[in-house]
Structure 1
Amino acid sequence: MTRRLAPHPDDQKSRPRSGRMVLALGIALLIVFVAWTAGWFYMASRLESQMRQAIAQFSEGSGEASCAQMDVWGYPFQLGVSCEPVTFLTDDRQYAGKAKAFHSSVQLNDPNRIAGEVEAPLQLESSRFPPLSVGWDHMSLSTRYAEPLPETLSIDGRNVTFVLQENGSLLAEVGRLLVKTKVDQSDLDITLRLADMTSPMTGGEGLPPLSLEADVSLTDGVPILAQNGLASMRGLSGRLDQVHLRAGSGDAQLWISGDYEVDSDGLIDGDIKIKLQSPEEIGDLLAELVPAEADAIRGAFDALDNFAVNDGRTPSIPVKVENGVPSILFIKLPAIPPLP
């Protein structure tokens, strides 16, 4: 006959205690879940209200904006807003646009960092250029919110096309377009990258693919943009830290650096330095872009070709720009049109 041992009194006490701990943990998790859910929907309601208020305030001035079919999404760990479509008209009424959709989101653990995505196409109109339809395979943006301007901003587009709305002809195509801005005290640093940029030419010919890398600083850019936006480039000044243009296979290249300013008439003044690789090839390219000044351009760059050393690259050459007219040594180049 098997003898059973009596349960120890401590075991009988521990079972109810363990059960109470599990129950308490479950209740605590339920409270956290309910509180998180209530908090998320409260923040979603506040976000939608603030979005509508911001759009209304923007539209009270000279500009206009709309966010159709606004939807707040992202539960439980994100918080985002979608608009289908989204439209805008700038304060100066110079630019108007309509995109198929816009989606933005924030991480709840870092609400100042905002990510977004824009769906093509963007119908863009302005008094300064013909109506365009801008398309892309993917267009994303991210920013770190701050006042009066975002601390950082990044726009990244792939396979971007610019098409004339009037006849559907392709104006330009860019394999990748990247724009970044960063606040540096009162100045604004701007980074621009264009890769594999092409544009059809008159007569059916085409430009060789161009790539551009530009790092530019805008003196007092933060207060200027916060007050006036980019309604005009006149009165701006700063530094070209590096501008690098590469054409085709990379034999023809141009480097630019130096200080610049734009006067009240939109004319550029500056003291810059340029370095070229294959100057004659660059001259031929620019002559195709500006056929009315082809002879002057080719003559200037043929002269610069004499400065090229064994690797086909010139040393740094000073360039003076006065009232929009650049001069390389004793050679004057065609005037740069006034900036808006």
Structure 2
Amino acid sequence: MTRSILIALSVVAVYTAGWFYLASIAKDRVRMELAKAAEQANSLECQSLSARGYPFSMYISCSGFNYRDQNQTLNAATSAVDVGASIFSFRTIKAQLTGPAAVALSGADPVKANWNKLQASARTDDRTAQDISLSAENLRLQSVKTDTDSKAPVLSLQEMQFDLNSLEEPLKLKITFDDLQLSGDTPLASLPEMDGLIDISSPASLASFKEADENGSVLRGKALQLNQVLFFLPSGASISLNGPVTIDDEGLTNADLKIRLTNMPALGQSLQAAFPDQVKNINTVIFALGSMPKDESGATIVPVLIKEGKISAGFIPLGRVPRL
């Protein structure tokens, strides 16, 4: 019995020593990557670097995290970041972020963010990250110019799930959200909470959308398939669309879309509440849509065609889409 206890204690001691040794290597690797980023004119700051998760996981933690890219176009900071993996699934990297956070993009107002829970995960291989996932609970985003800007637009949602197949492979993107609402100084604050689904694919990768052409566009020469874009209101009204969209090398849009509308009276009431000065026009549009085809469930189907930037709904011309 004594020998068994000694063997068990020895195994635990060796495992513990190995865990802390690997933790030390991991922290050194993080420091090296931070230094490498600094050499490339990016700025990453990880405050109070530490390792945790013993015995069956290993997470590298920063009590504060700041990032600024080399072109000064993106600045981000959050209270804490934990990144790591379980020893039972070491190729799946998980991260948890603690709010609040601040994000600033060049040419846009800064955004303050907070949440109850924000987690991300990705499966790694020898080439790139796969099966990228992000989930959030009670997320709140506020666009602000000053710390006292209490009427700035706020986007809040109860739950969100973001899934992406890869950064480098043909795009497969899916986003679902519950109880999305806009508040603050925006006409859309009068819209009710809504649930939604965005399902998009493309032969191009997400990484390719970061590479702007000589005209400053990231969309020219790209093709998207809107598998389903759905917004669902508490009244039972919904708006969904699907179909292919392409942007040619000149920035002209071509698309063949189908819009599906349910519970038109409730949808009209929601739009009238959000845009009271457009009540007459909204009523006219709702009346005109009444003559559009219906599917077997009674939903209104509106075919929308965009050809070289010219947009029409059925036989009604609606103008032009600006060059993208």
- Cα distance in 2, alignment partners of residues 301 and 119 from structure 1: 45
Counterparts of 1:290 and 1:62 in 2: how far apart (Å)? 46
Q: How far apart, CA to CA, are the structure 2 residues paired with 1:128 and 1:193?
A: 28
* Comparing 102-111 and 53-62, the one that deviates more: 53-62
Tell me how far apart the structure 2 counterparts of residues 321 and 289 of structure 1 sit (CA, whole Å). Answer: 27
Which of 75, 79, 91 lines up with 1:100 in the alignment? 79
1:335 deviates by 5.1
1:190 shift after superposition: 0.7
> Does 1:61 find its partner at 2:40?
yes
Report deviation, 1:296: 6.4
Q: Which residue of 2 aligns with 1:110?
A: 89
Report the secondary structure of 1:76's partner residue: coil
Change (3 A) 1:72 1:176: same
Change (3 A) 1:323 1:208: farther
TM-score (norm 2): 0.82
Matched position secondary structure for 2:14: helix
Matched length: 314
Residue 55 (structure 1) shift: 2.2
- 1:123: Cα distance to partner? 0.8
The residue aligned with 1:132 is 111
C-alpha distance in structure 2 between counterparts of 1:259 and 1:203, whole Å:
30
Is residue 149 from structure 1 mapped to residue 124 from structure 2 by the alignment?
A: no
User: Letter of the aligned partner of 1:273 in structure 2?
Assistant: K
Which structure 1 segments of 5+ residues have no match? 1-21
**What residue is the counterpart of 1:196 in the other structure?**
179
The one-letter amino acid paired with 2:196 is L
Q: Secondary structure at the match of 1:213?
A: strand
Q: For 1:68 and 1:313, how far apart are their aligned partners in 2?
A: 55
3-state secondary structure, aligned to 1:303: helix
Distance 1:239 1:204 in 2: 27
- Aligned counterpart in structure 2 of residue 327 of structure 1, from 304, 312, 324: 312
- Displacement of 1:139 in angstroms is 1.1
Say yes or no: does 1:269 pair with 2:250.
no
Q: 1:210 to 1:324 in 2, by over 3 A?
A: farther
Determine if contact 1:244/1:254 at 8 Å carries over to the other structure: yes
- Separation of aligned partners in 1, 2:103 and 2:261: 35
Amino acid at match of 2:199: D
Partner of 1:168: 150
Comparing 171-180 with 201-210, greater Cα deviation is found at 201-210
Q: Which residue of 2 aligns with 1:210?
A: 194
Q: Tell me the secondary structure at the aligned position of residue 333 of structure 1.
A: strand
Deviation at 1:64?
2.4
The alpha-carbon distance between structure 1 residues 191 and 86, as it changes in their structure 2 partners (threshold 3 A), is same
TM-score, scaled relative to structure 1: 0.79
Contact 1:239 1:258 in 2 (8 A): yes
**In terms of mean alpha carbon deviation, does 209-218 or 321-330 score higher?**
321-330
> RMSD between aligned alpha carbons?
3.3
67-76 or 92-101: bigger deviation:
92-101
1 CA distance for matches of 2:225 and 2:87? 38
Tell me the secondary structure at the aligned position of residue 54 of structure 1.
Answer: helix
Report sequence identity in percent.
22
Q: What is the match of residue 227 of structure 2?
A: 241
Q: Distance in 1 between matches of 2:72 and 2:317?
A: 37
Structure 1: distance between partners of 2:226 and 2:275: 23
Residue 254 (structure 1) aligned to one of 227, 230, 239: 239
Name the stretch that deviates more: 235-244 or 110-119.
Answer: 235-244
CA deviation after TM superposition for structure 1 residue 80, in Å: 0.2
Distance 1:28 1:282 in 2: 71
- Please state if 1:305 is matched with 2:305: no
Deviation digits for residues 60-117 of structure 1, max 9, x if unmatched? 3253222111111111211001112111124553221111111123101211112221
C-alpha distance in structure 2 between counterparts of 1:97 and 1:292, whole Å: 38
Q: Is the 8 A contact 1:278 1:305 kept in 2?
A: no
1:146 positional shift: 3.1
Q: State the distance in 2 between where 1:266 and 1:129 align.
A: 23
